[in-house]
Amino acid sequence: MNTFHRVLSILSLLVLWLILALVFPPTIVPRPNVVVGAMWDNLRSGQAFYHLYKALLRVGFGLILTMLLGIAVGTVMGLSRKGEVFLDAWVMVGLTVPAIVYSIICLLWFGLNDLAAIIAIGTSAFPAVGISIWQGIKGMDTQLVNMGHAFHLSRSAIIRKIIFPQLVPHILAAMRYALGICWKICTTVELIGMSNGVGY
C-alpha cells in the first residue's frame, strides 16, 4: 500500500510538471523529455560521475562534521544547565544566519577548495542537529538516569548505557534532516566558488 502511494506521488509530480511545461515557456519550465535528454548527454560525456563524486565527498565529510558538532553541542546543552545557557544564543544565531553567508565566509577564509566547502556545510547544518539532540535529552526518561546514579555508575557510563540508547531515534532523525541541508549548502558553495561538483 505504501509503494502504491509513493508511485502515485511521483506520477502526480510528473503530471504537474507536464502541465506547467505547457503553460510556461521552456526557459522557465522545460519539458521532462528535454531534461532527461540533457541528463543522458551528461552521463554519456562521463563528466556527471566525476562531479557527482566530488559533491558526494563534500556532503559526506560535511555531514560527519555536522553530526559531530551537533551531537557534542546538544549533549552539553541537554546535560548541563550552564552549558545550555552559554550555548543557547550561539545555536540560535547559527540557525538564523543564512547558508549563503557561511558559504561566502568559508570561501574567503579557506579559499576555493574542498576544505572550505566541508566547513561551510558542517557549520551551517549543525545548529539544527544540536537542537534536536538537546530536545531529545530533555524529553528522555530521567528515572533511568536517577537509577544509574543510585547504582553509582560513572558519568561516562550513564551517557554510554542510558542516555545514548534513548538518543538514537533523535540522532537518526537529525541526520536525515541534516542530510537535506548539507545537499543544499553543498550545491550553493559549488555554484558560488567551486570548479566542480553538482552545483557547478
| HEC readout, 121-140 | HHHHHHHHHHHHHHHHHHCC
- Tell me whether residue 161 is in a domain: yes
pLDDT digits (tens, 9 = 90+) for 92-146: 888 888 878 888 888 888 888 888 888 888 888 888 888 888 888 887 777 777 7
- For residue 18, give its domain range: 1-44
- Tell me whether residue 159 is in a domain: yes
- Tell me whether residue 199 is in a domain: no
- Tell me whether residue 84 is in a domain: yes
For cell 550552564, the residue is 82
Greater model confidence, 106 or 46: 106
In angstroms, how far is CA 91 from the centroid of its own chain?
15
Q: Are residues 97 and 108 in the same domain?
A: yes
- pLDDT of amino acid 129: 86
- pLDDT of amino acid 3: 81
Q: Are residues 68 and 2 in the same domain?
A: no
Instruction: Give the sign of the dihedral formed by CA 99, CA 101, CA 104, CA 109.
Output: negative
Label residue 192 by pLDDT band (50, 70, 90). confident
- pLDDT of amino acid 1: 62
Q: Are residues 184 and 98 in the same domain?
A: yes
Q: Are residues 35 and 51 in the same domain?
A: no
Give how far Cα 7 sits from Cα of 4, 11, 125, 153, 187, Å. Answer: 5, 6, 30, 50, 27
Q: Are residues 106 and 148 in the same domain?
A: yes
CATH number, domain of 132, equals 1.10.3720.10
Q: Are residues 93 and 172 in the same domain?
A: yes
Q: Are residues 11 and 52 in the same domain?
A: no
- pLDDT of amino acid 113: 83
Q: Are residues 30 and 121 in the same domain?
A: no
- Tell me whether residue 198 is in a domain: no
Whole-model pTM: value is: 0.75
- Tell me whether residue 200 is in a domain: no
Domains held by the chain: number: 2
Average pLDDT in the 37-63 region? Answer: 82
Residues in the chain: 200
Q: Are residues 51 and 39 in the same domain?
A: no
pLDDT digits (tens, 9 = 90+) for 146-188: 777 777 777 778 777 777 788 888 888 888 888 888 888 888 8
Give dist(CA 151, CA 52) in Å, integer.
Answer: 51
Give dist(CA 124, CA 170) in Å, integer.
Answer: 19
Q: Are residues 17 and 36 in the same domain?
A: yes
Q: Are residues 15 and 5 in the same domain?
A: yes
Q: Are residues 157 and 76 in the same domain?
A: yes
In angstroms, how far is CA 134 from the centroid of its own chain?
17
- Tell me whether residue 73 is in a domain: yes
